[in-house]
A and B are shown apart, each in its own frame.
Chain A
Amino acid sequence: MAQTMGPTLKRKRLATTWKSMKRNWQLYLLLLPTLLFFTIFHYIPMYGVQIAFKDFYANMGIIGSPWIGFGHFERFFESYYFWRLLKNTILLNLYQLLLFPLPIILALMLNELKNSAFKKWSQTLTYAPHFISVVVVVGMVVAFLDPITGIVNLAIKGLGGEAIPFLTSPEWFRHVYVWSGEWQSLGWGTIIYLAALAGVNPELHEAAKVDGATAFQRIWHINIPSILPTIVVLFILNIGKFMSIGFEKVLLMQNSLNSETSDIIQTFVYETGLLEGQYSFAAAVGLFDSAINIILLILVNYLARRVSENSLW
């Protein structure tokens, strides 16, 4: 556009822009503190990502430390734990993603409830765990699954089974992690779908009933198509968080006995970077993780746009 404009016109436009900015300077003043915050706590760290390609020495600073190229990445890719970390990260997130339909199903069920008091109570009670901190949730998991005193193992033993060391066995880590998370977030996850369902035209349902459609048919042919755009957008957002969800909880649940499955890329970044002080190496591993994230997000968004015309951008 700019090329098609004459130089005088361009200057004129710049001048009006400048004038409008001067007239509205107070708006920029209102924005300033937040922009400063984003610069310091988001953009300076982005600039600091370069330590992933350097050998960072604290006394030389980020800029002064020597460049080494892709050395840290190579070391990470060639290390024996690389495949284990990648596999654990992907499997844990895939497992989590598999449960994506559950809040949709619960929302469809809640939406069918005709007794509004019962519906409201169900919502209030199922939302509640969302407000419990991750520390307390893991604390509850630890207490309930204790091999000797935990209620779950007491029940298993009561039924004649053998106590299962849920928290210290690699086979159980993923199940415990994902399902305790589902306990916490299932209800909360229905909110958006319920709002979308509230927007469905009731006349469609009336007409379908007259035509003899069963409840399942109405849900399948009216409700689900109506909320499909919401489902697609939330699915993309979920993929965007792939590789990065729930790391704070994994860290709490991790111990030396279950690390075979609980070691994920992000806990590894925390350990090598902050506990062992290998800043550059850990930053490289972290960068690898966010790169995968972005690629996935862009890919899924592209696919969604082609398949369903619903996408983030």
Chain B
Amino acid sequence: MSKKLVYVILGIGVLISVSYKHIEEKPKYKNSLSEYGFFSDLANQIPNEGVIPYNLNTPLFSDYAYKKRFIAVPDGKAIAYNDSVSFEMPVGTKIIKTFYYPLDERKPEKGNLLMETRLLIHEEDGWTALPYIWNDEQTDAYLSLAGDLKPITWVNKKGKKQKLDYLIPNKNQCKGCHIRGKEMKPIGPAARHLNKDYNYKDGIENQLKYWKEQGILANLPADFTAIPQNALWEDLSSTLNLRARSWLDINCGHCHSPQGPANTSGLFLDIHQTDPYKFGILKPPVAAGRGSGDRAYDIVPGKPDQSILVYRMEENDPGIRMPEIGRTIAHKEGLQLIKEWIKEME
């Protein structure tokens, strides 16, 4: 066989493999959710020992999806408490979050439609985000780095049939929210989000206390009044300001913070921001484009309908809506809250 021919064949082979480089799911990640053994009953999301369920004060809105959250910390290791940012967690920690819709929000017995389970795994070289998509049979979820768009229907609390294209983010989109500076970080597990009661199978208890008792949280202050607490956005016993800032904190602050990817805008919506200009009051947009909606400032006190913030929460167009990732429809109730907050401003 002539050498030339060999090169031709090789060349064509390379050409095919280059043009058709289909990334196989890397073997270093498990292909299915069941392989991790987090659950004794996977379909009903009943966790095994050592996999602790939790929830947050005000959570991120994701197209009205319900979420179940769990954390698994390696034996003998503990998370380090701090009061301002998401906790530093031991290598080997896994955070599990399943997105689902009740088929009928009025009748839980009808069951759930499980969409996806996102894992955050703390590896030696940092956090990795892995999206697992549930199969149609609802028996297991499988790794998909490319994400997907799935049409779904369910019945809401008012008995109305709801329809949307549910978006499962690709691996990079996970990072779109979870990056801090150059590093991936979890968002929810921070003192202010976790500081609330949870109904465990052995009774109701504050989550932070429970974590401490389980030995997975170190350095929790004895004085509980020293621990920050975000409001539940719909809890009318909190102040309007704290409810609104809590909603913005979890929905916007992960990107719109000095270390977040939306720092290009100079608009900072995390709860730590105290400069009114930086959280939007009479601040003109920088690179909003048509996202400005012909409005001049992010927040015009007293005038929600002249505030860009409100416009971008209302709109569903992918070039306008905020957050960019994770919603295709507006959170009507959250929007109402932010409108009230702006309306009350002097």
A binds B: no
- Interface on A for B, CB 8 Å cutoff? none
